[in-house]
Structures are given as structure tokens and as C-alpha cells.
Chains A and B, each alone.
Chain A
């Protein structure tokens, strides 16, 4: 059974780069699936950030694309998110999840998910 676990600092300063890693266990990150990041700011809806395939192809939410970098380390079964120039608006719980498909349709869903890691942006 595939499980995902986020890790990273819980605190970031404004203008810095936030770095988060998701470790996949119980299965290989090299597969037909994709791997994504979703966040939820306090009082707001979940927001899809970006998705990566083990082959390196990436997909981004246009609202965040200019500040996001995704990478994948198949030797460690991990994928990572870097979010540049953070502000208080980036304070959120960040989840990683397996993204079944990235094209529109019935198989574009996220499952399983990690529990999420809270990130606070504050000086």
C-alpha cells in the first residue's frame, strides 16, 4: 500500500524559498502515475500547486508557476517542491499526493495523500 509523507521546515521567512520533500513508501515512484502537491491556506479551499511525472514532465497551476520548481529523485523515491519568494499568503498546510492522471477526465484524482505539513511564513 503506497504511503506518502511530507517533510520540511515548518517556518519560513518572507522572501525566502520554501523547500518541501515527499517520501513515497510501499511502491515505486517510477510508475505510470504522477505526483502532486496541494495546499490549504487557513479558511480557504484546497489549491493544486503542481504535479510531476517520474520522467520529469511537470504541470503547474498558472497562479504559482512563476515561483515553483518541482524535482524528483527516483533513487530515494522522493519528489520535492521549491516555492520562491514566499509571503504570508503562502502560509498553509502542504500535502503531497499521487496524481492518477493529469489529463481532463474521470481518472484525474489524487490518492493517496500525505497527512500534510504546516508551513508558516513569518519574520
Chain B
């Protein structure tokens, strides 16, 4: 199985900060990488698919980049509603696997 490793495991940031979260795959996955946001008690939400495509309705302050094994999720101006856990998922090879998550505290 492809292992997905995220860093950092957690971070604390302030409103309007720029936040960068990274995800590394154990083997090359082209741009087959998705990012999600999960607030406690709520349903996870797809933010980015195909490494850099913004899902409909997701604010433009979210962006994704990368290819091969290294990927980043950037939040350009952190908002209060952005707290929670961010996790990546590879869509290159079944079984589809996820990163451990990055907890963002504000």
C-alpha cells in the first residue's frame, strides 16, 4: 500500500496567517492527490482534487500544488472557520490511502 505522511502533525496559527501543510507519498503518485478538511463532529469536506483543482464552493484562499511524491496545501489567509484537521488521500493506486492528518488550531 502507498503510505501517506503529513507534516506537521499539528500547528497553531493566527487569523490571516499563511499556513502550509505538506503530504508525502511513499512512491510516486503523479498528481493523484486530494485534500480534505474535517471539523470535529461534522462531515469531512473535499477541498482540492487532482493535487491543485479547487472543489466547487471552496474558498480561493485554499490552494494545492505538487506532483510525484511531494504535495502542499496552502491557506493564504487563515480564517476562524478553518480550524480542524486537514488530511490528504492518494487516488493513484488501490487501496486508496490517507495521511494521518494535520490539526490546525487557531
- A contact set with B: CB distance below 8 Å: 4, 38, 44-48, 59, 61-63, 95, 97, 102, 104-116
What does DSSP make chain A's interface, helix, strand, loop or mixed?
loop
Q: Hey, what's the 0/1 contact readout for B80-104 against A, CB within 8 Å counting as 1? A: 0000000101011111111111000
CB neighbours of A4 from chain B (8 A)? 43
**Cα–Cα, bound, A97→B34 (Å):** 15
Contact call B89/A105, Cβ cutoff below 8 A: no
Q: Is B22 an interface residue (CB 8 A)?
A: no
**Cα–Cα, bound, A102→B43 (Å):** 21
Contact call A110/B89, Cβ cutoff below 8 A: yes
Contact call B94/A59, Cβ cutoff below 8 A: yes
| Known A-B contacts A46-B98, A59-B94, A62-B95; A109 and B89 likewise in contact (beta carbons under 8 Å) | yes
CB neighbours of B42 from chain A (8 A)? 115
What does DSSP make chain B's interface, helix, strand, loop or mixed?
loop
Contact call A61/B95, Cβ cutoff below 8 A: yes
CB neighbours of A95 from chain B (8 A)? 43-44
| Known A-B contacts A45-B4, A104-B32; A111 and B98 likewise in contact (beta carbons under 8 Å) | no
- B contact set with A: CB distance below 8 Å: 1, 4, 31-32, 34, 36, 41-46, 49-50, 53, 55, 87, 89, 91-101
Contact call B96/A107, Cβ cutoff below 8 A: no
CB neighbours of B34 from chain A (8 A)? 108-110
Most A Cβ at <10 Å: residue of B1, B34, B43, B92: B43
